[in-house]
Amino acid sequence: MTEANGHPGIARAERQAAPSPVGTGFFEPWIGRRQVLDLDDFTQAEIERAFETADHMKEILARPIPRVPTLRGRTVVNLFYEPSTRTRVSFELAAKSLGADVVNVTASGSSVEKGETLLDTVRTLRALGTDLLVIRHKDAGAPYAVARHTDLPVVNAGDGAHAHPTQALLDAYTIRERFGRVEGVRVLIVGDIAHSRVARSNAWGLTTLGAEVTFCGPPTLMPATALAVSRRGGSGQLPWPIHVELDLERAIEGVDVVMPLRVQIERQDGNRLASLREYARDYGINRARIALAAPHAIVMHPGPMNEGIEIDPDVAHGDRSVVEDQVTNGVAARMAVLYLLLAAGESTGTRDHGAETGEAEGPGHHRPGAASDAPSILDRRSVTPARERL
């Protein structure tokens, strides 16, 4: 793939590990984190901690009664301004499996229809006793706006064409489960890159973990900066060290993971797609094309699938498909996010459980200066204005 693309050896961007929040020289992933808005501010250690936590959550989900009382008495609100089945249900099951109460709010049927603003809705939900907000919104950046104006933990469940961090977590987690690692795994993301929050968040997550990522799709569904990369090589102005290839047969050669994206029929603005038939012919993932990938290659899809367009039914439900694993792992990954934000994110380290268990506690557990260091933690996690990154 590298040679076919004609631009080998893209250097991985240097990602700086977040510094220790209290200068102890000991950094604990997720301590101080209050938001999951995208994976762009995640360190490798934070993602790996989420994976390790998700491993334990999967054990719970495999039990006859898949529920623990960890978040009993906490309320998670799913605030969905855009239609969703699997993401909303996935968050709901994740929260309930941890014992939390879940309230679902959708734009239709709520005060949004009376003209209440997003921030007023959030203030109301906070006053009603919400402990964590999960937000899906059609506008890129909406969860960032909320996060700037509330002290509640916020999880982005998809904002416009911008980011979908929990999907990227579950995708990388599924890859790790299949291959035992993410580093060095060759991942091809095919389709409507320009409209895809899944592609963007996956680019952040997968490149942070050291995967080799290629974007592929028709020129009309590629962001302009990606088109320049496809012609000139290098990673150009893209924020990630990835490859861009317009020709699917070349892009798919030898890859370990093929991830066709859903053709977002509802987001097409007229003439970007000549026809769905032409798209299926040139970019549809079928058996013949899968045969060009690595012999052990797997097929992933963020769903819902347009079978017969971006993916053939026999591939979607074939033995290469891990689509159902993705759905199961989605609940585990979201349980990990909720647990780490609510149970770990508040940590101030004033108690010593080692006294009971006899364990030696790491220096990160004793953080007498935690309160006064709060601003620096906030600085580190400071929200950046949402911007189209491609």
Question: Looking at beta carbons only, is 101 or 253 nearer to another protein?
Answer: 101
Q: Which residues bind another protein (CB under 8 A)?
A: 28, 30-31, 49, 52-53, 55-56, 59-60, 63, 65, 67-70, 98, 339, 342-344, 346-361, 364-365
Question: Smallest distance from the beta carbon of 180 to another protein, in angstroms?
Answer: 17
Enter the tokens of residue 355: 């006294």
Please, what is the minimum distance in Å from the beta carbon of residue 326 to another protein?
A: 22
CA distance 202 to 172: 8
In angstroms, what is the minimal distance from the CB of 135 to another protein?
Answer: 23
Selection from 171, 172, 168, 105 nearest residue 135 by Cα: 105
Q: Which is nearer to another protein, 11 or 360 (CB)?
A: 360
Minimum CB distance to another protein, residue 101 (Å): 16
In 3-state terms, what secondary structure has residue 36? Answer: strand
Cβ burial of 360 (10 Å; 0-12, 13-18, 19+) is: exposed
Q: How far is the CB of 358 from another protein (least distance, A)?
A: 4
Is the CB of 56 or the CB of 272 nearer to another protein?
56
Q: Which string of b and e fits 120-133 if b means at least 16 CB within 10 Å?
A: ebbeebeeeebbbb
Nearest CB to another protein, comparing residues 27 and 139: 27
Give yes or no for a contact between 201 and 239, defined as CB atoms under 8 angstroms apart: no
CB of 103 to another protein, least distance (A): 20
Identify which of residues 11 and 65 has a Cβ nearer to another protein in the complex. Answer: 65
DSSP string, 135-179: EEESSTTHHHHHHHH-SS-EEEEEETTTB-HHHHHHHHHHHHHHH
Q: How far is the CB of 343 from another protein (least distance, A)?
A: 5
Q: Of 42 and 80, which CB lies nearer to another protein in the complex structure?
A: 42
Q: Which is nearer to another protein, 9 or 64 (CB)?
A: 64
CA distance 297 to 289: 11
Q: Counting beta carbons within 10 angstroms of the beta carbon of residue 369, is it exposed (0 to 12), middle (13 to 18) or buried (19 or more)?
A: middle
Question: What is d(CA 338, CA 120) in angstroms, rounded to the nearest whole number?
Answer: 24
